[in-house]
Amino acid sequence: MKSYKKIAILLTAAIGILGASSCKKLLEQDPKASITPQFFTTSGGVLGGITGVYSDMRNLWGTEGFLYYTNSGVDETLVGGGSSTGGLAFGTYSNYVNNIGDVYNGLYGIFGIAYQDINTLNGVLQYGPTAFADVPTRTAYLAQAKFLRGFYYFHLLETFGSIPLHTNFITTPTLSDTRAPLADIYAQIIKDLTEASTELQNKPGETIASTGAASPFGGHSATKASALYLLSKVYLTRGWSAAAQSTDFQMALTTAQTLITNKGTYGVGLYASYADAYLEANDATNTEDLFAIEHSTDPKYGNYTASPSSGAVNGWAWFYRPNYPTVNPSYPSGSTGGSVMTRDLANGRPFFRVRPNADYIENVAFADKTNDYRYWNTFQTTWISNTANITTPRGTLTVGADTAIWMPPYDPGATKRAAFKGIVFLRPSLIATATGTNANPYTTSFFPSCKKFDDPLRPNVNDASQRPNVLFRFSEVYLIAAEAAFKMGDNTTAAAMLNVLRTRAAARPSTAPAAPTNAVTNMQITAAQVTLDFILDERTRELYGESLRWWDLTRTQSLVRRVQQYNAEAGPNIKDFEVLRPIPQTEIDLVTVGPKITQNPGF
């Protein structure tokens, strides 16, 4: 949503609620800033609470710690050369248990931030009804809180397993707490999201009928479509879990199909071309964006800081970028002649925190690059010369015309490589068979870059992205439906859902080479081809790098198997118990009365 400037009281007194963390957070505050129940009995208090929660999300999604949390140590990525010590631990499962102490910062921020915000939302829902005389207005506001509470509890549950469950606003510190049964947590999440799916606005900023006023929740805030998406995913996840109910997969499928059927009502739908879903020009009205976190240079609505290196910023335009400005004309031998490329807005700030797992990406997930154009829409493989007077052993590069760096997902052959004036990089498995000159392997610093999140319109070269960080995409609804149908044994429906995306995947931008005339036909699959691994590979093709992969693999009980199968860095280290994250130790230690909260097995 277009997040209102966060009220100062919320910045200092959103109280954490796990055990004595409530006491700790409360005692650190100036008592004049504490939130009281009366605060939420005003419309301004309700609005401030909800928008404060939206603002807090910038501390999670889009940050470096959250990148490691969701996209490291999986099948589709490897560790980048610029990764931090914590990122290396998450990416390789080495010394992984040493990262369990940090609650409010870094990799485990979700635990502390989520419980602070849940308590704020509990206050909104418990006391907010008295703030509005008008029922439709009250319903629209409180539905946002229900959605956000369900959202946070779901991510806590799928990350840590059973966790404490609180639905009342906590004002009195306590030194005890317990984990709730999984069944109870799921029931509360489903209750919140079911109600939100009927009470939220159809579209962001939609007029509240009784007052004629526009809802203050515009931009990329939650809508009915957001709630239906998440509700279908919650049913899907519970269906795989120990708390499964017999109707879960059917409910996941039915809920996803309801969203698909009513996409016109909600103003959502697939673009004709996959590339259009990621165009910066479409950000404000993206029909595939079901829920996103705002970022902006407007000081009233964003957290803009010039050239930051950390903080509540959207770094997705940085983290996948290779260190392209350090490639010299004679790479890999010598260092004379400067760099073939200069860091610029178009090519981005290179943080190179994660990199594609090239053999899986290029040989398995995106093996078909002729009919399926999603590889080319996802990865940047060429860097056009932007630096004058650069001469390699094969010739002088012309700015704006010659390709300075080329990373083809195939070996173009010795003749083409020898004639190419720039620097060629190939995935390591191709180097073994490549002959001739000018063939260098991908490394932890040099690799094809995920380009879907690029932001060439940011103010300065080293600025973070000002684009919204999209959490829910409409295309994933088809993948949720396919997985649910597959689990029900209905592979015909699963194939039909997947074929919607695969048909679209054959389309390509007008600037690209024309697709084969039979590309759409070649992209269709049959019911017999639907397997869990096919669905997971399709998720990579459709959603590579989008803060989902670790949860996708843990939900489907595939993390350990697929990491061992595809990830040479992490496979030897991963243990069966690492399908959950460890509860931050500082939270466990703060429970000093009654039974301790037990750590997840293995940690």
Statement: residue 13 has pLDDT above 60: no
Chain centroid to CA 491 = 28
Specify the higher pLDDT residue, 472 or 599. 472
Contact criterion met (CB below 8 Å) for 494 and 535: yes
Q: What pLDDT was estimated at residue 241?
A: 98
Q: What pLDDT was estimated at residue 1?
A: 37
Specify the higher pLDDT residue, 107 or 123. 123
Q: What pLDDT was estimated at residue 98?
A: 53
Residue identified by tokens 């698909």 is 260
Q: What pLDDT was estimated at residue 94?
A: 87
Specify the higher pLDDT residue, 67 or 86. 67
Helix (H, G, I), strand (E, B) or coil at 487: helix
HEC profile of 229-288: HHHHHHHHHHHHCCCCCCCHHHHHHHHHHHHHHCHHHHCCCCCCCHHHHHCHHHHHHCCC
Give the model confidence (pLDDT) of 176-232 as tens digits: 999 999 999 999 999 999 999 999 999 998 988 777 778 888 889 999 999 999 999
Radius of gyration of the chain measured on its C-alpha atoms: 25
Statement: residue 20 has pLDDT above 80: no
What tokens were used for 44? 């301004």
- Residue in 57, 70, 111, 213 with CA at minimum distance from that of residue 597: 111
Lowest mean pLDDT among 32-36, 421-425, 500-504, 510-514: 32-36
Lowest mean pLDDT among 106-110, 454-458, 525-529: 106-110
Contact criterion met (CB below 8 Å) for 309 and 483: no
Instruction: Give exposure, 360-394, as e/b (b: 16+ Cβ within 10 Å).
Output: bbbebbbebeebbbbbbbbbbbebbbbeeebebeb
CA–CA separation, 252 vs 236, rounded Å?
5
Whole-structure pTM value? 0.93
| Averaged confidence pLDDT in the chain | 89
Pairing outcome for strands 423-426 and 403-406? parallel
The model's confidence at residue 301, banded by pLDDT at 50, 70 and 90, is: low
Pairing outcome for strands 382-384 and 289-293? unpaired
The model's confidence at residue 299, banded by pLDDT at 50, 70 and 90, is: low
Q: What pLDDT was estimated at residue 596?
A: 87
Helices (H), 465-548: 474-487, 491-505, 519-523, 532-543
- Residue in 166, 145, 124 with CA at minimum distance from that of residue 21: 166
